Amino acid sequence: MTDNKPAAVRARFCPSPTGTPHVGLIRTALFNWAFARHNGGKLVFRVEDTDASRDSEESYAALLDALRWLGIDWDEGPEAGGEYGPYRQSERGDIYRDVAATLLEAGELYEAFSTNEEVQQRRKDAGQDPQLGYDNYDRDLTEEQKRAFRAEGREPVLRLRMPDEDLSWNDLVRGEIEFKAGTVPDPVLVRANGAPLYTLTNPVDDALMRITHVLRGEDLLPSTPRQIALYGALQRVGLAEFVPEFGHMPYVMGEGNKKLSKRDPQSNLFNYRDRGFIPEGLLNYLALLGWSIADDRDIFTVDELIAAFEISKVSANPARFDIKKAESINGNHVRSLSHDDFVARVTPYLVDAGVLPARPSEDQQAKLSAIAPLVQERVAVLSEANDLLRFLFVDEAEFAPEEAAATKALGPDSEPALRAAIEALEGLSSWVAADIEQALKDALVEGLGLKPRKAFTPVRVAVTGRTVSPPLYESMELLGRDVSLGRLRRALPGN
């Protein structure tokens, strides 16, 4: 058949809805999305949900939630529609049955009755490793032999007749890859009960949906020769117009240089959202897992990613997930948010942590707005604002310095600094940050001769409850004179 490949790119993201979306899966979605957008093409979102024992609607909903949160949209698929639907494999059973029947009638598939035990025994009898897999024994069974097997109660699987020639492709990430003839056994495409397997459904859907580029993880590379062979069969029976291009992206490695498992908590995408990663920051970091925008640049926007993304620049080497680097990159994006955007994004985290009520008062909103720039420059993830700001909104009856901070900073030797601070602040006529700063420096550094750390740490812990807080003087201004002095007095040893 003449190659009738579409002029425009058609990439796809086709996850199985099992478990919680993980960073490796979303990295695959991101690269396909960026590739499609960069090339002015389309992204097809297809759900491979034929395994009823593992797939769930809850996981499907989580997939949609993850993609929407990150802003990864699709042109065809669930909720978007499209001319090649349905886009959930569980709704495409009739299509797979018809395709399998067509391939069987054309001789591209054949009925195989051998059990695993029989295959292994034949391998042993031939002096071969019994783990070599299927030996293509059933390719040329006669009708009489098939009837005999059926008389024993056996039902056949359907296998693809692999070509007796080398199979190769120019991988978009790894270059030329070749599998020698005879090294790939004839694969099962349909179970004995008639259920189609991934080996059939995935390439058939790609063919019927006219997918031009298959970009996926390197764990699927060994299945590629089987898929290329199936494409050949589909072309011969008029169901495929071309073979797509393949690109196999590198593994994402976790701690100890092991492949990041989807069961590893570090791989759970929603853990990052819960901690306060923002989509711009997380997408930026995920894009660096196997790709780079430039040798000397790690920070970029989503628009810059799309403009620069070339699949040929994806590395074949494993990428290591570095949480510290992810946090650092996210912090850069947090600091790039506008004031109002930061306040809007951080507020739900403060509410969830009980720092703010579900409906903050005008006074609380004003305090948050005033202190937001001081917090924004100090956090890598939004949830870090919870502990930084708790002192500002807590009920006074419930306020108490953190035990570790109090032990460190509010011992007996802190009393001179605290008393001097109280005396200096009580005499202030105006309660603004600049005057608070000057009064404390005059009293503690100049008056008592203390070094700044020794002078201000007890005051900081007494007022904010922590050794790390937003800037002290601005914090005290927002707390107000009465609250600030009350906390300093309560922090005096013996109170």
Instruction: Estimate the share of the chain in helix, then strand, then coil, as percent rounded to the nearest 5.
Output: 50, 10, 35
Check if the beta carbon of residue 145 is closer than 8 Å to that of residue 209.
no
C-beta separation of 484 from 425 below 8 A: yes
Q: Which of 5, 146, 262, 408 is catalytic?
A: 262
CA torsion 152→154→158→163, rounded to 10°? -40
Residue-wise DSSP of 46-92: -B----TTT--HHHHHHHHHHHHHHT---SBBTTTB-TT---BGGG-
Do the bridges between strand 167-171 and strand 175-179 make them parallel or antiparallel, or are there none, so unpaired?
antiparallel
**CA–CA distance, 475 with 391 (Å, rounded to integer):** 9
Gyration radius (Cα) of the chain, Å: 32
- 146 marked ligand binding residue: no
- Between CA 227 and CA 229, with CA 228 as vertex, the angle to 5 degrees is 90
Can 262 be counted among the known catalytic residues? yes
Task: Tell me how far apart the alpha carbons of residues 474 and 476 are, in angstroms, rounded to a whole number.
Answer: 5
Rounded CA separation 204/179 (Å): 21
DSSP summary character for residue 217: E
Angle in degrees, CA 45, 8, 236, rounded to 5: 80
349 in Cβ contact with 379 (< 8 Å): no
Binding site residues, as ranges? 262
Active site residues per annotation: 262
